[in-house]
Structure 1
Amino acid sequence: MNPTHSLALYTGAILAGALAGGSLPLVGRMGRSDLGLSFSAGVMLGAAFFHMLPEAVEGAGAKATPFVLVGFLLLYLLERFVLVHVCGEPGPNAHLSTPEGAGLESAHLHAPGEHHLHAHTHEALCDVHTVGLAAFAGMSAHTLVDGFALGAASVDAELGVLVFLAILAHKVPNSFSLSTILRAEGYSRGKALAMNAAFALMVPVGAGLYLAVKELVRIETFTSYALAASAGTFLHLSLSDILPDLHRRGGSKWQLSGALVVGLALMWGLRLLRHGH
């Protein structure tokens, strides 16, 4: 099988695996799952610290580390100036603006022995940060890098298989995490699956990017810098968005902490399939 056919087979399998993993959180009644979100934060932290950062430093040394901040700030600025936030504007997840997720549609809130509180109280109570689009952007950027790496590795049959297995193993939990976040944000099943498909399609796009620029850039250095920047987006999503939101909402400390540890442990175990590029 020539490298082009292998690459097509690999990308097709990764797309199928990503869609399968992304479908799991969408089974049953749609709603927010704090345990799923905590697990997703663990997956992102584990991916950043156990996979992306070690590979970036291995490929480019300490020069790669500033790109972690580049990725972190890029997603921060996207959220600040581009992406829509539920607290300021109505959207598909506006019903999540309170812990109960409802009851703010009326113009007044009533409490025994107190004066009526007028509308706009929801702005003070709002504790939900829209992370669906940010998660999609950050995770898609990482998947684009994975596709680039797969394209580079496919010139060697044995190395191509190893990189394919590593990407496939990561994409299933990553897709699960993305759907969990989108579900919590109130996206429909159809839209969540479509965004998962677009996320997974970044693998063939990345592979095509490699074929287009392989003669123009130093592949190893480019991939290392891109991985470091992707790690920065994962750190932003987990540490600045998901975990602070879970802290504010409360919930079982032991259960949420356990879900976080399970996500970390999963990514730790997948170190055995680290990319060979």
Structure 2
Amino acid sequence: MSKLIYIILASGVISLGALAGVLTLAINEAKLTRALMLLVSLSAGAMMGGAFLHLLPEAVEVLPPDLMLAIVLLSFMGFFLVEKLVHWRHCHKGHCPTHTFGYLNLIGDAVHNFIDGLIIAAAFLTDIRLGLVTATAVALHEIPQEIGDFGVLLYSGFTKTRALTANFLVALTVVLGGVIGYYLSFWLENLVGWLLPVAAGGFIYIAASDLMPEIRKEPSLKKSLIYFVTFLAGAAMMYLVK
């Protein structure tokens, strides 16, 4: 099977995660919250493990260590800027148009998903196993995010059907990013080597800035321990597939 087929299949499966929003219509809110927190913990561990155990070791074989680390840092800061400037989670001023906010959310998701597609392409072009590891980490992160985005669209005034359709169409930009990343790799020398530390910086930012703070908010010691063990399980999963 060609690497392009792997990229399309993996990114296509990730796009289907956008349909996870429909689960919120059938699951009790308390149960959904517990399940999402476990998934968030697992995702944080998988992303940290994927970055430090797979992406960075592969990147250092292609780029000088100092350049590679500089790209990781720039990527970390870049993801912060993208999240701040494009992917707004809510309106701070309290009087922005609800539909405008919904569309801003979709634009931010499209940018984020396109970058995910580029990252997945770079990983598969480096090694099939690395591609599977990266796609798994992205998928674990995308499911709770897509459920949250579905709720955001409903809150902004979208109907359930329209929110689900819009979320899915935007999720397909993962496939677009993957295909474009595949073909760009033949035109731009060493593109894959540059995208690996970008992916690592993005994974570290998402895990450390978005996911782990949610785990830290848990006041219950028992639940915190459960989430920590789940976090370790995500990291261990990445170690076992080295």
Describe the superposition over 1:127-174 as per-residue Cα deviations: whole angstroms up to 9, x where unpaired: xxxx998787556425314424645x6xxxxxxxxx345423531442
Provide closer, same or farther for how the CA distance between residues 12 and 248 of structure 1 changes in structure 2, counting only shifts above 3 A: closer
Q: Is it true that 1:53 corresponds to 2:89 in the alignment?
A: no
Give TM-score, length-normalised by structure 1: 0.64
Q: Please report how far the alpha carbon of residue 68 of structure 1 lies from its aligned counterpart in structure 2 after TM superposition.
A: 0.8
Matches within 5 A, 1:86-105: 86=90, 88=92
Aligned-pair distance for 1:83?
Answer: 2.9
Q: Quick check: 1:193 aligned with 2:168? A: yes
AA matched with 2:210: D
Deviation sequence 1:16-73 (CA, Å, 0-9, x none):
44345x2685563355411111111112111111111111112113121111110011
CA distance, structure 2, for counterparts of residue 136 and residue 28 of structure 1: 22
Alignment match of 2:207 (pick from 214, 223, 238): 238
Counterpart position of 2:160: none
Deviation for aligned residue 1:207? 0.8
The CA distance in 1 between the partners of 2:219 and 2:175, in whole Å, is 33
Q: 1:45·1:264 contact (CA, 8 Å) conserved in 2? A: yes
Paired-residue identity, %? 21
* 1:86-138 deviation per Cα after TM superposition (whole angstroms, max 9, x unaligned): 2615669x9xxxxxxxxxxxxxxxxxxxxxxxxxxxxxxxxxxxx99878755
Match of 1:78 in 2: 82
Partner Cα separation in structure 1 for residue 145 and residue 209 of structure 2? 14
- Amino acid in the other structure paired with 2:23: G
Partner of 1:268: 239
| Aligned residues: CA RMSD | 3.3
- Aligned pairs, how many? 213
**Superposition pairs of residues 60-209 of structure 1, within 5 angstroms:** 60-62=63-65, 63-86=67-90, 88=92, 137=111, 140-148=114-122, 150=124, 163-185=127-149, 186-187=151-152, 188-209=163-184
- The aligned counterpart of 2:158 is none
Question: Which stretch has the larger CA shift, 252-261 or 82-91?
Answer: 82-91
The letter for the 1-side match of 2:232 is: V
User: 3-state DSSP class of the match of 1:60?
Assistant: coil
Structure 1 residues 66 and 237, CA, compared in 2 at 3 Å: closer, same or farther? same
SS of the equivalent of 2:217 reads: helix
Q: 1:45 to 1:198 in 2, by over 3 A?
A: same
Which residue in the other structure is 1:28 paired with? Answer: 23
Q: Which runs of 5+ in 1 are unaligned?
A: 95-130, 154-162, 272-277
Give the unaligned 5+ runs of structure 2. Answer: 26-31, 153-162
Larger Rg: 1
For residue 243 of structure 1, what is the amino acid of its counterpart?
A: M
Aligned-partner Cα distance in 1 for 2:56–2:226: 28
TM-score scaled by length of structure 2: 0.71
Displacement, 1:212?
3.0
C-alpha distance in structure 2 between counterparts of 1:164 and 1:28, whole Å: 31
